[in-house]
């Protein structure tokens, strides 16, 4: 079984913000697999399918970014799955705009959503796909304002390409590709 999570904030006002890049990524995975988020479980919107006989659950926690770990902990317990079968998509200001970084483990770093997941799961051993949005044009904007600002103009083109790649990562993970192969195949600058 695989659980694929996108981190974000559920209100419409956050829909097209940098902090919702995780939601956008898991939405792209759902689109690629022809799924819709038509169920709710453990304080999350979910979509379910089977690929090659293995259950796949796509997740958008509705607990807001900083409490994402609460919903994820409940889902991991509900489905009785190992954290190594978890893939989390999130934004990351410490990575350059247009770059994707896949990791099998690591701390939450400066990302409050990841920190909350680590705290709630009691482990750093879960897969994550970080979508970079650091841009030198935006370094003077306070981070709290930046993550909640809208993606517009030339940035939209860049992130459309990045989200397309994120969708492929999610589909490949769902089909059983291991994290090391995904790292070799997809880590790096998209555009």
The dihedrals phi and psi of 150, each to the nearest 5 degrees, come to -75, 150
Dihedral angle sign, alpha carbons of residues 101, 103, 108, 112: positive
19 belongs to the catalytic site: yes
> What gap in Å lies between CA 117 and CA 65, rounded to an integer?
10
Largest CA distance in the chain: 49
Q: Could you say which of 2, 19, 73, 101 is catalytic? A: 19
Angle between helices 179-186 and 153-174 (to 10 degrees): 150
Active site residue ranges = 19
């Amino acid at each position: 079984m695989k659980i694929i999570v996108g981190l974000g904030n559920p209100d419409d006002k956050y829909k097209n913000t940098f902090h919702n890049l995780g939601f956008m990524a898991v939405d792209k995975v759902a689109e690629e697999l022809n799924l819709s988020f038509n169920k709710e479980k453990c304080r999350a919107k979910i979509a379910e399918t089977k690929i090659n006989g293995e259950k796949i659950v796509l997740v958008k926690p509705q607990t807001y970014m900083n409490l994402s770990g609460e919903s994820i902990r409940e889902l991991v317990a509900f489905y009785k799955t190992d954290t190594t079968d978890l893939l989390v998509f999130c934004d990351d200001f410490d990575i350059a705009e247009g770059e994707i970084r896949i990791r099998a483990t690591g701390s939450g770093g400066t990302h409050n959503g990841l920190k909350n997941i680590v705290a709630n799961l009691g482990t750093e051993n879960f897969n994550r796909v970080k979508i970079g949005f650091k841009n030198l044009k935006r370094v003077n904007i306070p981070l709290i304002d930046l993550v909640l600002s809208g993606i517009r103009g030339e940035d939209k083109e860049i992130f459309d390409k990045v989200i397309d790649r994120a969708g492929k990562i999610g589909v490949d993970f769902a089909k059983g590709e291991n994290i090391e192969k995904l790292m070799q195949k997809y880590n790096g600058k998209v555009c």
